[in-house]
């Protein structure tokens, strides 16, 4: 029967939850404080070490979580703007082609622009179109269009696209019979009417 009592005592000790070192310290501090107060030595204030450590741990954990979320968010935002390898390849290809056409237009056709203006116009326009296409490939069409149509860039975008359209229109019309003569007549009549209206 004694073994029954001793085993039940062991079971009760095993069922008792294990206390932490801080809890043991707090119970020791509480008993020593009560002993001191009974002997006349009163403590100025009791300090709960376990609560202080938990509070510090929660503060550090919370700060770490906020910092890690901020770092991962900033990292994701920073890496989302990096173009892919395929976009960089298309950017390089379009840019090199555009620079080639602009180079050809200035080195081969600018000296003879009076004789063959169409060749200069088509090479220069194609070069500019390829250079613009390279930035569309790099940034993406939606982002590039938003960038080009922003308030501060819109006049330059319209001027650039307008000059390209006029150059291509001149190129296309010059192939029709009498196209160059017709364009010269239209441009001279527009110029004279503008000069008459503004009194120059």
Residue 192 and residue 131 in one domain:
yes
Residue 60 and residue 104 in one domain:
no
Residue 53 and residue 91 in one domain:
no
Residue 190 and residue 109 in one domain:
yes
- pTM summary value: 0.49
Give the residue numbers spanning the domain of 71: 20-37+46-82
Greater confidence (16 vs 127) lies with 127
Q: Is residue 3 in some structural domain?
A: no
Phi, psi (rounded to 5 degrees) for 41: -90, 100
Can you tell me the mean pLDDT for 81-94? 87
Residue 140 and residue 126 in one domain:
yes
Q: Is residue 27 in some structural domain?
A: yes
Q: How many CA atoms lie within 13 A of 90 on its CB side?
A: 14
Q: What angle do CA 102, 162, 99 make, to 5 degrees?
A: 15
Digit-coded pLDDT (tens) for 129-170: 999 999 999 988 898 899 989 999 999 999 988 888 887 777
pLDDT band at 60 (very low <50, low <70, confident <90, very high): low
Q: Is residue 15 in some structural domain?
A: no
The predicted structure's pLDDT at residue 41: 46
Q: Is residue 5 in some structural domain?
A: no
Mean residue pLDDT of the chain comes to 76
- Evaluate if residue 4 carries a pLDDT over 60: no
Can you tell me the mean pLDDT for 1-17? 50
Q: Is residue 4 in some structural domain?
A: no
């Amino acid at each position: 029967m004694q073994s029954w009592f001793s085993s039940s005592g062991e079971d009760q000790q095993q069922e008792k939850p294990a206390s932490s070192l801080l809890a043991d310290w707090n119970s020791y501090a509480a008993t020593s404080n009560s002993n001191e107060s009974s002997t006349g030595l009163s403590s100025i204030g009791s300090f709960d070490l376990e609560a202080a450590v938990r509070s510090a741990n929660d503060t550090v954990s919370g700060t770490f979580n906020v910092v890690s979320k901020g770092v991962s968010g900033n990292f994701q935002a920073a890496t989302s703007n990096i173009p892919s390898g395929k976009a960089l390849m298309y950017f390089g290809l379009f840019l090199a082609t555009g620079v080639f056409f602009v180079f050809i237009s200035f080195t081969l056709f600018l000296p003879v622009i009076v004789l063959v203006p169409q060749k200069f116009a088509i090479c220069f326009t194609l070069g500019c179109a390829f250079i613009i296409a390279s930035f569309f490939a790099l940034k993406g069409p939606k982002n590039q269009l938003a960038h080009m149509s922003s308030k501060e860039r819109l006049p330059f975008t319209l001027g650039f696209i307008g000059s390209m359209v006029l150059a291509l229109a001149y190129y296309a019309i010059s192939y029709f019979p009498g196209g160059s003569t017709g364009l010269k007549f239209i441009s001279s009549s527009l110029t004279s009417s503008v000069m008459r209206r503004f009194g120059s």
